[in-house]
Amino acid sequence: MQKGTPFRLVSSDVQPVVGTAEYSLCSHCLAVQKTATPAWQAMAEHVYANYDINHQSQGAEPTIFDSAKGSGPRSLILLRNFLDTGELAEEGRLLDFGCSNGNLLKSFHGLRPRWKLSGAELVDQWKETVLALPGVEAFYSGANPAYAGRFDVISLSHVLEHIPDPIPFLRALSGHLTPGGRLLLAMPNLRQNPSDLIIADHCSHFDEDSLAYVVGKAGLGIELLSTTMLPKELVAVLSLRRPARVPDVASAEADARRASTKARCLFYFEMLDEVRRTARACTRESRPFGIMGSSIAACWTMLELEGEADFFVDEDHNRIGHQLMGKPIMAPAQVPAGAVVFIPMSVAVAERIIDRWKQLPVDFRYEPTNRPD
């Protein structure tokens, strides 16, 4: 699907990845996917074998700024929004599938301290860390663990995008819900965050339409599907109630979706190409040069520049003072006067950042065509 020079790839834990990817439209779920070739599978397995989550902040999860639910750790903002979607009892059982080091479990315990919590991961790298958290009763590992009982809530924060075949995955996991239980999902929104395409181990790339299609085919009902609860992310609350109708994969409606999705993705690839072209032009000036952010887009930009940047800039206090790719992460106020700072995010995000720091003697730059919406 991609045209032109292949893009460099970044792992979901924000580290350089060697390899390339092929893109396609899934004939079963209508989502944009990286083709699960043996080479891609080997690349993803290498990423997971060396996973170092949130290493830029010594394990602290990303901070969300100025959302409708305030500022704070991403999992806390997600859960505050979830509590608004329906009454949640003071006692119950929650399973966090893909729990990593337990950040969501910690946030949930603070909101519902009488709930019994469990975590699940493919490997047991974080087993002892998770089991030591307050409220946690169990940790499960492996592809198909034997869960003890059913759960009132199963959370999947940044999990579904890693799954090559999401329909049977959701169908199977929902079988562990209580009759009135709910699934809570959060994942990148391709329409707001096209840089999701260059995350090496993200196989499935969703927008509202493709996620709704997958959920319906899995036999689940949508209680909520939001593009605004978390920046650049989809948040969904699902239940076992009757699903909405979805078109057959061989229908004219499905064909129209495929054509529209393909055209949009080709536009995203062209847009990303413009972003890296503009970033490269910025490095030709004889001034200190930095990249805004210390996550996926920033790491990808540094790779495309062959390391030709002096520093990263971030507003997240958990990351300031640490390093990414051997370069320091600075606060905006620490940037040398007269330096150029390239913002690889969308125009809307770039303009908000510039407005917050317009008093600084810094030359902020961005690509004006970076408008994914």
Which CATH number belongs to the domain containing residue 57 in this structure? 3.40.50.150
Instruction: Reply yes or no on whether the pLDDT at 72 is more than 80.
Output: yes
Residues 319 and 235 in one domain: no
> Are residues 327 and 218 located together in one domain of the fold?
no
Please indicate, yes or no, whether residues 206 and 289 belong to a single structural domain of this protein: no
Residue 1 belongs to a domain = no
Angle between helix axes 208-217 and 252-282 (nearest 10 degrees) is: 140
**CA 279, CA 281: separation in Å to the nearest integer?**
5
Which range of residues forms the domain containing residue 321?
A: 285-366
CATH number at residue 303: 3.40.50.720
Task: Record the tokens describing residue 262, joined without a space.
Answer: 């393909």
Whether residue 227 is contained in a domain is answered as: yes
Q: Is the pLDDT of residue 60 over 90?
A: no
The DSSP output letter for 270 is H
Cα distances (Å, whole numbers) of residue 283 to 66, 180, 279, 280, 314: 31, 56, 7, 5, 19
308 in any annotated domain: yes
pLDDT of residue 2: 46
8 A C-beta contact, residue 40 and residue 21: yes
**Among the ranges given (20-29, 92-101, 225-234, 268-277), the one the predictor scored with the smallest mean pLDDT:** 20-29
3-state secondary structure of 311: strand
Residue 179, domain member (yes or no) = yes
User: In Å, how far are 35, 195, 232, 256, 265 from 250, measured between CA atoms?
Assistant: 20, 30, 30, 11, 21
348 inside domain: yes
206 and 347 both lie in a single domain? no
Q: Based on the domain organization, do 115 and 23 belong to the same domain?
A: yes
Q: What are the distances in angstroms from CA 216 to CA 202, 209, 223, 244, 276?
A: 22, 11, 12, 6, 37
Q: Under a CB-based contact definition with an 8 Å cutoff, are residues 342 and 349 in contact?
A: no
24 lies in the same domain as 172: yes
User: Are 82 and 183 part of one and the same domain?
Assistant: yes
Residue identified by tokens 């030591």 is 132
- Give me the DSSP letters along 25-74: E-TTT--EEE---HHHHHHHHHHHHT--TTGGGTTPPPEEEEETTEEEEH
Statement to judge: residues 155 and 209 lie in one domain: yes
> Given pLDDT bands bounded at 50, 70 and 90, which one contains residue 253?
confident
Tokens of 198: 């260059």
Q: What was the pLDDT predicted at 64?
A: 86
Distances (CA, A) of 102 to 79, 270, 318: 14, 37, 17
- Whether residues 220 and 295 share a domain: the answer is no
Query: Residue with structure tokens 């209508």?
Result: 30
Q: In this predicted model, what pLDDT tens digit does every residue of 342-361 receive, in sequence order?
A: 999 999 999 999 999 999 99
pLDDT of residue 299: 97
336 and 195 inside one domain: no
Q: Residue 244 domain-assigned?
A: no
Domain termination site, one of 184, 207, 239: 239
Residue 275 belongs to some domain of the structure: no
Q: Indicate whether 262 belongs to any domain.
A: no
Q: Same structural domain for residues 124 and 46?
A: yes
- Summarised one tens digit per residue, pLDDT across range 111-164 is 999 999 999 998 899 999 999 999 999 999 988 899 999 999 999 999 999 999
Same domain, 198 and 340: no
Count: domains in the chain: 2
Residues 81-122: pLDDT tens digits?
999 988 899 999 999 999 999 999 999 999 999 999 999 998
Residue 1: pLDDT above 70?
no
